């Protein structure tokens, strides 16, 4: 079995053998608003999707990893930013794990399992709300909400949303980037060369 994890950018995944391929996608988390000087709610997380396919040796899949939402200083450009979508393409079919937006968790489409992102916590007095945590087996936690003059915490990859800033703070937390994971289990008669495995180990992404 080989596991390849991609945490940024875009590219092509190539199956080294025939067998069963499990693809998992995580959308990026959103950054909540930083408008004004009051505490704000936590951001919304990215979505999660999972697809299982029978593949042939040499079959390829395109991928693109969503970037986390950026939070702005309340005295500069105000408002938060949505997280980017993580997509995997299989020929003419696209599997999408959407990034969190400012009003809802990311939406997943095209997978066997489609799980929407989660909402952040509601602010309470001077305390900002915690960011929403991403669904999925390794979904990232949302950032902590800021207290009083504390900024919100950044979300954890993959897909965690930023925490809301506390009252009189300067910024909410950043959303975390998404991720794509390809797990290939060769069929009984298939083999993966040691040279190919060595090359794949050196080239695959490293999880945050």
> Where are the domains positioned within the chain?
1-44+56-176
Q: What is the pTM of this model?
A: 0.89
- State the average pLDDT over residues 80-104: 96
Q: Alpha-carbon distance 9 to 121, whole Å?
A: 30
Pairing state of beta strands 93-97 and 179-186?
A: unpaired
Mean pLDDT, rounded, of the chain: 89
Q: What is the pLDDT of residue 149?
A: 86
- State the average pLDDT over residues 3-29: 98
What confidence tier does 33 reach under pLDDT thresholds 50, 70, 90? confident
Q: Alpha-carbon distance 10 to 86, whole Å?
A: 9
């Amino acid at each position: 079995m080989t596991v390849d994890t991609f945490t940024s950018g875009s590219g092509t995944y190539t199956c080294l053998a025939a067998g069963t391929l499990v693809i998992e996608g995580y959308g990026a988390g959103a950054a909540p608003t930083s408008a004004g000087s009051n505490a704000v709610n936590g951001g919304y997380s990215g979505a999660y999707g999972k697809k299982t396919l029978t593949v042939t040796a040499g079959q390829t899949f395109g991928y693109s990893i969503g970037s986390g939402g950026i939070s702005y200083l309340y005295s500069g450009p105000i408002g938060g930013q949505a997280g980017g979508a993580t997509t995997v393409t299989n020929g003419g079919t696209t599997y999408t794990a959407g990034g969190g937006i400012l009003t809802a968790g990311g939406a997943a489409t095209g997978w066997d399992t489609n799980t929407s992102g989660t909402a952040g916590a509601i602010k309470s007095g001077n305390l900002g709300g915690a960011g929403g945590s991403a669904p999925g087996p390794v979904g990232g936690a949302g950032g902590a909400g800021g207290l009083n003059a504390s900024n919100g915490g950044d979300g954890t990859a993959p897909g965690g949303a930023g925490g809301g800033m506390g009252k009189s703070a300067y910024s909410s937390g950043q959303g975390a980037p998404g991720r794509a994971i390809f797990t290939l289990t060769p069929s009984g008669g298939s083999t993966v060369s040691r040279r190919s495995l060595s090359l794949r180990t050196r080239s695959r992404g490293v999880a945050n």
